């Protein structure tokens, strides 16, 4: 994968930064997508290798367009940027909170993916990895019976569907598109993750595995960080 180029959104912290670190260690040129330039520069210095800052706000059309102009050929896109609000059930969560979460977790993925598709289509081995969550699985939700984190979990369910639809739409272009559930990790996503989460590097490894798939690898699938399949 030497000379390959990757972009990870929301990569100045947490799992995104660890994905960038692991890909840079593999010899890739890695664009560290960061809404805040200062935090992005700090992350680039920490990651090392051929890591580069790409200022990118996935909720801002002008920012996305400017970022897309910076990369002519893109081999790997990891849609990692995401937010989660309070652990509310749908009957307790305001519709504006749903809009805020979906703006980043769903609409941001569509906007970024579509903007970088020309660059991905110029790659000989294009890959898209969407950072999802097992909590977005309909099967898991029905089994557990929990109603918490309604906006976040439903946004990941929508992301799973987008994964399948993009995989179908881009199959003729050779783009492999998959979703990964990294597990609960020690990040700033929410209070539960910060307190009870595991090692971000372990969750990131699942995304890196999908980013480096061979050409005959799967597409339109949902995997856990350890490589096992997650039910839709």
Q: Locate the DSSP E strands across 60-213.
A: 76-79, 127-131, 176-181
220 assigned to some structural domain: yes
Considering the domain boundaries, does residue 232 fall inside one? Answer: no
How many structural domains is the chain composed of? 1
Tell me the pLDDT tens digit for each residue of 143-183: 888 898 999 999 999 999 999 999 999 999 999 999 999 96
Q: What is the pLDDT of residue 119?
A: 98
Domain contains 95: yes
Residue 44 · residue 52 · CB < 8 Å: yes
At residue 15, the pLDDT reads 93
Q: What is the pLDDT of residue 194?
A: 56
**Lowest mean pLDDT, pick from 43-57, 122-136, 191-205:** 191-205
Which one from 31, 102, 152, 166 is the annotated catalytic residue?
A: 152
The pLDDT of residue 2: 59
User: Domain containing 87 — which CATH number?
Assistant: 3.40.50.720
pLDDT above 90 covers a percentage of the chain that reads: 84
pLDDT of residue 67: 98
- What number of other Cβ atoms are within 10 A of residue 1's Cβ? 14
- Note the pLDDT tens digit of each residue in 68-105: 999 999 999 999 999 988 889 999 999 999 999 999 99
31 belongs to the catalytic site: no
pLDDT at residue 220 greater than cutoff 80: yes
| Residue 179: domain span | 5-224
Strand order of the sheet with strand 221-224? Answer: 51-55, 29-34, 5-8, 76-79, 127-131, 176-181, 221-224
Report if residue 70 sits inside a domain: yes
The predicted pLDDT at position 85 comes to 83
Task: Decide if 39 is inside a domain.
Answer: yes
Q: Phi, psi at residue 130, to the nearest 5°?
A: -105, 125
User: Would residue 229 count as lying in a domain?
Assistant: no
Q: Residue 140 and residue 149: Cα distance in Å, rounded? A: 14
Q: Is 230 contained in some domain? A: no
Is residue 11 in a domain?
yes
């Amino acid at each position: 994968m030497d000379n390959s180029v990757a972009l990870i959104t929301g990569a100045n912290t947490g799992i995104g930064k660890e994905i960038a670190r692991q890909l840079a260690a593999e010899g890739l040129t890695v664009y560290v997508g960061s809404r805040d330039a200062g935090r992005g520069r700090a992350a680039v210095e920490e990651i090392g290798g051929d890591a580069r800052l790409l200022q990118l706000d996935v909720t801002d059309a002008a920012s996305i367009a400017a970022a897309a102009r910076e990369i002519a050929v893109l081999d790997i896109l990891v849609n990692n940027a995401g937010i989660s609000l309070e652990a509310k059930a749908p009957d307790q969560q305001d519709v504006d909170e749903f809009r805020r979460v979906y703006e980043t977790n769903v609409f941001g993925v569509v906007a970024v993916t579509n903007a970088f598709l020309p660059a991905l289509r110029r790659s000989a081995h294009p890959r898209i990895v969407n950072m999802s969550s097992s909590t977005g699985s309909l099967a898991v939700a029905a089994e557990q019976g929990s109603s918490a984190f309604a906006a976040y979990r439903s946004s990941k369910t929508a992301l799973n569907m987008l994964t399948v639809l993009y995989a179908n739409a881009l199959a003729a272009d050779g783009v492999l598109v998959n979703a990964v559930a990294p597990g609960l990790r020690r990040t700033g996503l929410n209070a539960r993750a910060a307190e009870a989460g595991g090692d971000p590097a372990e969750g990131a490894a699942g995304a890196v595995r999908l980013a480096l798939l061979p050409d005959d690898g799967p597409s339109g699938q949902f995997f856990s960080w350890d490589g096992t399949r997650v039910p839709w």
